Amino acid sequence: MSGKFLNQVAVVTGGSTGIGFAIAKALLTEGAKRVYITGRSAKSLDEATATLGDAAISVVSDVSSLANLQTLKHEIEKRGDQLDAVFANAGIAENNFFGETTEADFGKTFDINVKGVFFTVQTLLPLVKDGASVVLTASMVANKGMENFSLYSASKAAVRSFARSWANDLKGRKIRVNALSPGFTRTPIMENGLKWDEAQIEAFKNYAEGVVPLGYVAQPEEIATAALFLASNDARYVNGIELTVDGGLTQI
């Protein structure tokens, strides 16, 4: 442990599983005083905090609900905390078939992935310290044209755009805003969002071996390492960027 986040306070939305959980765990390992994690499932949050320990505070919160985001803000305020880092990580990934996509499909993806990110950061902004860091979880698909994935891809392109705009909006407070764009990563989204079975997941891993230059699907911890870099003092002159962590898939 280097203690790079010693005594710091952070929020990780979508922090009960996958990349969000890995970020929360890494923050605590690096000395964070308190990490607030959110999610829509109380059961998943309870399981996460049981592993993370007392320094993790779980808040049942749907980022698409402004009332839920106010509840999160209140939970932070009542402990007298101010935020050194915000990881706006919560999101969903579902296939949509162009020509068959419904308005409800569109609304669901954009409410969580775009509206949720926007209002998470805006709601928590009064609690964010000057000189703090905001890390937005985008995706490498924002720069691709993957079949049956147009809603997810467009929503993540919006998130990447937020990083550019907010880096300017918040420059007076020296708050850095960066986007993290993971590539293929083994998270519960494969089962819960994409509805893949074990055979499909195995086939996807085999596919990744051929198309990803590093030859494998990442684990959440490998993405979390990059997220912590962006939020740390090591990246103090890094602002407004998209850090793509995809094993070289979109870069070569």
What CATH number is attached to the domain comprising 62?
A: 3.40.50.720
Find out whether 168 and 247 touch, Cβ atoms under 8 Å: no
Structural domain containing residue 94: 9-245
Q: Considering the domain boundaries, does residue 26 fall inside one?
A: yes
Average pLDDT over residues 139-157: 95
Q: Tell me, yes or no, whether 251 lies in a domain.
A: no
Mean pLDDT of 90-106: 97
Query: Which of 131, 146, 134, 110 has its CA nearest to residue 13?
Result: 134
Is the residue at 101 inside a domain?
yes
d(CA 144, CA 188): 22
- Note whether residue 250 is domain-resident: no
In a domain, 16, yes or no: yes
Q: Which pLDDT belongs to residue 161?
A: 98
36 carries an active-site annotation: no
Residue 2 lies in a domain: no
Stated pTM of the model: 0.96
Total domains in the fold of the chain: 1
Say what the pLDDT of residue 149 is: 93
Residue 180 is assigned to a structural domain of this protein: yes
pLDDT at position 47, please? 97
pLDDT at position 1 over 70: no
Catalytic pick among 36, 152, 216, 237: 152
Pair 17, 38: CB distance under 8 Å = no
The answer as to whether 122 is a domain residue is: yes
List, in sequence order, the alpha helices (H) in the chain: 18-29, 42-52, 66-78, 103-110, 116-124, 150-169, 189-192, 198-211, 220-231
